[in-house]
A and B are shown apart, each in its own frame.
Chain A
Amino acid sequence: MSSLSPADFERISNSSEKENISRPSLSYWADAWIRLKANKRALLSLYLIVALLLFTIVGPLIWTIDPALQDLDQISQPPGSNRLALIIDDYEPWTGLSSSSENGLRLAESATTMAVRLVWDVLPNASGHRVYRNIFPVGEERAYGIPLAEYFDNSTQFFEDRLDLKPRRYFYSIVSLGENGELQDEYQSIAVDLQRVTTMSEARAKGLILPNSELTTGDSINLNLHPLGTDYLGRDMLSRLMEGARVSLFIGIGAPSLFILFGIIYGSFAGFMGGKIDQFLMRFADFVVALPFLLFMILFKIAFGIGPGESGVFPMLVALVVLMWPGTARLVRGQILQIREQGYIGASQLLGARTNYLIFRHMLPNTLGVVLVTITFAIPSAIFIEAFLSFIGMGVAPPTPSWGAMSNEGIKNMLTSPHELLLPAILISITVLAFNLLGDGLRDAFDARLRNQE
């Protein structure tokens, strides 16, 4: 048997801590944070928001391309498109000579983005020809596209197209003209795939090849990289989206923060004063609520008057603050009125707390949870309003990009290059969704009564 030492007979301490069955007390905020962490959707949206903020703030430091810079070689290019360009000799005028031995409408030489050279034979019964170009095939409805040239006799049987050529497939047609220049039924059409080309001098001027590079004619080079493609003016989508995120999030976060601050001051003042003052202040808030919102946003915007070169972000911020504070003011007032009657306020007063102490130590901190929830719901609505206004052309002035303004520009060529509309629209949707889900999570975390309903 093991031996017992005298130490084993020491009297163990008999503190009362063992009997204590309470867990460590949690503050209001710690409790809410634990509940928020348990909510996967809210946590995910929190990560999303952090990622968006990084995209907005850190993004432009990494991707430093100027959002206003136009890359005219790459206009309306979708993300991840081929950006190889063949280096060819400088342009030389063409006299219509052709080595091609085929019949009918044909290419004189391979088609490039510098020039498309067409030759043809005279169509039956033609007294002249008209040349058309389309981006769609000529169907039964005889949609030839845009007219490029017209010849009223048969002496000219060639045409050189240098008009705004893109590296894509075009459908060229020649249509026979009658004696008086009228359109006849006879036509020929060919599909032409253009290759993107550049010349040495052009590439040097754009900084695509270094001065001491050994590249020569016939080699291929890569044009500038645009990870998310370009818009209809050849501007880089990625840098524009980042710049637009700054505008959208600045309005989306700045305006709610300001009007909620004002609402807190206004509402807590009204709630605390009570009586006639309270009634008067709240009646005024009711008036402001009754103003037709979008109309007044536009009114304020024109009342401010945007000078040339200004972005119009500031007037929009002010208009949002002026029109949106009453909601918060009402909410905070209601909270203050409720809290004023709580037992702990009375207890604090009994212990000799002063008014200032009561407001700043008890009342405001207890309204902060509700206020935080309001902010998270106000942010997506502010982003929506900005997008709305910019979309109808009443928001930020071009060329300042914002997601709404970019959608407005993108919707015009939605059919040919959908990425110009979809990218900003997706970003708006993700942002609004993330803030909404976070708002839900926060509301559930702060308000125990609503917790069990989802």
Chain B
Amino acid sequence: MISYIVKRLLQGLLTVWFIATATFFAMHNVPGDPLLNDRAVSDAIRANLESKYGLDQPLGTQYLIYLKNLSQGDFGISFTQENREVNDIIREHFPVSAILGILAVVFAATGGILFGALTAIYRNRLPDFIIMILVILGISVPSFVIAAMSQLALVSFNSLVGVTVIPVAGWGTIFHMLTPALVLGLGTMAYLTRLMRSSMLEVVGSDYIRTAKSKGIPAPRIFTRHQIRNAILPVVTVLGPSIASITTGGFVVELVFAIPGLGRYFVQAVQQLDYTVIMGTTVFYGAFLVFMVILVDILYGLVDPRVRLEK
């Protein structure tokens, strides 16, 4: 088990290196010049700036400096906001995105597992139809539409009650987080519901459930101990990639709900061509996702002892 974890972590490091390299060379190909502001810069100042940011070095040297700084966890200084380190920006804005993402994953996972199990148990009956219609909506309606509609609904709800129960946008309290997290998790929840449903249907018809029934085990106990536990496995497998799609999907939600997260900051940095922030954010996100997937894989091994990790 330990050798497996070590191996996965090394693989992860290699992946992060690949992401960093790809980011570096993609950014290097961007037309334009990071120092090309609307301010006119004299040649002397330009040369000074270039040497400050190391832009007068050959490409290979720049790459090595970049890797060296990266290995020390230093993403550099923002080009557009003087005296602001990329690390500060990430430290400030990433927790917001992370809380939002975690809440969304929690929503998606609990909702998906619960609804999926319900639809399988009430197969072809009313609860099944209602949930499946909602699932189809969740899969096919773009999240920005759902976000806008939920804002509209919140406005009318708040004006009906007379006080702002749940804020429409912004960030701060737990009430600010609920709606964006729900909207963010909805697509994944729909996907997980479908997955859980088919996996649950398979479990419900299997021999060991019949055996358990014939032994006289009460239905709730069969549900929690046998059905859910076995049906949950495929859901856990896709949870890693889901976390990735949720964090990147956060861009739109952060934009619509005016949440000061890293995604919104990234879009802003791209618009301003803030090179170091773009590169830093990309590498940071990439590393985060890689290690989340590894974490989920290790958890999977704990949930399902049958998975041979040494493979």
The residues of A with any CB-CB pair to B shorter than 8 Å are 286-287, 290-296, 298-300, 302-303, 305, 380, 384, 387-388, 391-394, 404, 407-408, 411, 414-415, 421, 425, 428-430, 432-433, 436, 450, 453-454
Q: Indicate if the CB atoms of A290 and B15 lie closer than 8 Å.
A: yes
Q: Indicate if the CB atoms of B19 and A292 lie closer than 8 Å.
A: yes
* Most chain B CB inside 10 Å of its own CB: which residue of A294, A415, A432, A436: A294
| Complex-state Cα separation, A432 to B281, whole angstroms | 31
Interface residue B26 (Cβ < 8 Å from any Cβ of A): yes
Q: Indicate if the CB atoms of B278 and A393 lie closer than 8 Å.
A: no
In the bound complex, residues from chain B placing their C-beta under 8 Å from that of A380 are 140
Q: Indicate if the CB atoms of B252 and A388 lie closer than 8 Å.
A: yes
Q: A33 CB to closest chain B CB, in angstroms?
A: 24
Q: B144 CB to closest chain A CB, in angstroms?
A: 5
Within the complex, which residue of B19, B30, B139 is in contact with A433, where a contact is CB–CB below 8 Å?
Answer: B139
In the bound complex, residues from chain A placing their C-beta under 8 Å from that of B32 are 305
Q: Chain B: which residue is nearest A440 at the CB level?
A: B194
Main secondary structure of the interface of A (DSSP, over half): helix
Within the complex, which residue of B22, B148, B293 is in contact with A414, where a contact is CB–CB below 8 Å?
Answer: B148
Q: Indicate if the CB atoms of A299 and B289 lie closer than 8 Å.
A: no
Q: Indicate if the CB atoms of A295 and B266 lie closer than 8 Å.
A: yes
Q: Indicate if the CB atoms of A305 and B152 lie closer than 8 Å.
A: no
Q: Indicate if the CB atoms of A391 and B282 lie closer than 8 Å.
A: no
In the bound complex, residues from chain B placing their C-beta under 8 Å from that of A394 are 267, 270
Interface residue B47 (Cβ < 8 Å from any Cβ of A): no
Within the complex, which residue of B142, B244, B255 is in contact with A429, where a contact is CB–CB below 8 Å?
Answer: B142
Q: Chain B: which residue is nearest A434 at the CB level?
A: B140
Q: A118 CB to closest chain B CB, in angstroms?
A: 32
In the bound complex, residues from chain B placing their C-beta under 8 Å from that of A428 are 141-142, 145
Q: Indicate if the CB atoms of A298 and B285 lie closer than 8 Å.
A: no
Q: Indicate if the CB atoms of A407 and B290 lie closer than 8 Å.
A: no
Q: Indicate if the CB atoms of B30 and A303 lie closer than 8 Å.
A: yes
Q: How many A-B residue pairs have CB under 8 A?
A: 115
Q: Indicate if the CB atoms of A294 and B15 lie closer than 8 Å.
A: no
In the bound complex, residues from chain A placing their C-beta under 8 Å from that of B249 are 294, 388
Within the complex, which residue of B31, B140, B278 is in contact with A299, where a contact is CB–CB below 8 Å?
Answer: B278
Interface residue B248 (Cβ < 8 Å from any Cβ of A): yes
Q: Indicate if the CB atoms of B152 and A414 lie closer than 8 Å.
A: yes
Contact with A along B114-130 (1 / 0, CB 8 A): 00000000000000000
Q: A290-B19, A295-B281 are in contact. Are A302 and B144 (CB under 8 A)?
A: no
Q: Chain B: which residue is nearest A425 at the CB level?
A: B145
In the bound complex, residues from chain B placing their C-beta under 8 Å from that of A384 are 142
In the bound complex, residues from chain B placing their C-beta under 8 Å from that of A415 are 152
Q: Indicate if the CB atoms of A296 and B15 lie closer than 8 Å.
A: no
Q: Indicate if the CB atoms of A298 and B142 lie closer than 8 Å.
A: no
Contacts A292-B282, A415-B152 given; 17 further ones with Cβ under 8 A?
A: A290-B18, A290-B19, A290-B293, A294-B248, A299-B23, A299-B26, A302-B273, A305-B31, A387-B144, A388-B142, A388-B144, A391-B142, A391-B144, A392-B255, A392-B267, A429-B142, A453-B202
Interface residue B134 (Cβ < 8 Å from any Cβ of A): no
Q: B210 CB to closest chain A CB, in angstroms?
A: 17
In the bound complex, residues from chain B placing their C-beta under 8 Å from that of A429 are 140-142, 145
Within the complex, which residue of B30, B152, B255, B285 is in contact with A295, where a contact is CB–CB below 8 Å?
Answer: B285
Q: A292-B286, A302-B273 are in contact. Are A425 and B26 (CB under 8 A)?
A: no
In the bound complex, residues from chain A placing their C-beta under 8 Å from that of B143 are 388
In the bound complex, residues from chain B placing their C-beta under 8 Å from that of A436 are 136, 139-140
Interface residue B309 (Cβ < 8 Å from any Cβ of A): no
Q: A148 CB to closest chain B CB, in angstroms?
A: 28
Q: Indicate if the CB atoms of A291 and B27 lie closer than 8 Å.
A: no
In the bound complex, residues from chain A placing their C-beta under 8 Å from that of B23 are 299
| Complex-state Cα separation, A293 to B243, whole angstroms | 12
Within the complex, which residue of A291, A305, A404 is in contact with B19, where a contact is CB–CB below 8 Å?
Answer: A291
6 pairs of A and B residues whose beta carbons are closest in the complex:
A433-B140, A305-B31, A294-B248, A432-B140, A287-B18, A425-B145
Contact with A along B204-248 (1 / 0, CB 8 A): 000000000000000000000000000000000000000011001
In the bound complex, residues from chain B placing their C-beta under 8 Å from that of A411 are 144, 148, 256
Q: B255 CB to closest chain A CB, in angstroms?
A: 6
Q: A452 CB to closest chain B CB, in angstroms?
A: 9
Within the complex, which residue of B145, B251, B266 is in contact with A421, where a contact is CB–CB below 8 Å?
Answer: B145
| Complex-state Cα separation, A380 to B190, whole angstroms | 15
| Complex-state Cα separation, A293 to B22, whole angstroms | 13
* Most chain B CB inside 10 Å of its own CB: which residue of A296, A428, A432: A296
Q: Indicate if the CB atoms of A295 and B144 lie closer than 8 Å.
A: no
Q: Indicate if the CB atoms of B144 and A293 lie closer than 8 Å.
A: no
Q: B275 CB to closest chain A CB, in angstroms?
A: 10
Contact with A along B249-263 (1 / 0, CB 8 A): 101100110000000
Interface residue B29 (Cβ < 8 Å from any Cβ of A): yes
Within the complex, which residue of A287, A296, A407 is in contact with B142, where a contact is CB–CB below 8 Å?
Answer: A407
| Complex-state Cα separation, A433 to B145, whole angstroms | 15
In the bound complex, residues from chain B placing their C-beta under 8 Å from that of A425 are 141-142, 145
Within the complex, which residue of A295, A408, A421 is in contact with B248, where a contact is CB–CB below 8 Å?
Answer: A295
Q: Indicate if the CB atoms of B285 and A453 lie closer than 8 Å.
A: no
Interface residues of B in 267-311 (CB under 8 A from A): 267, 270-271, 273, 278, 281-282, 285-286, 289-290, 293
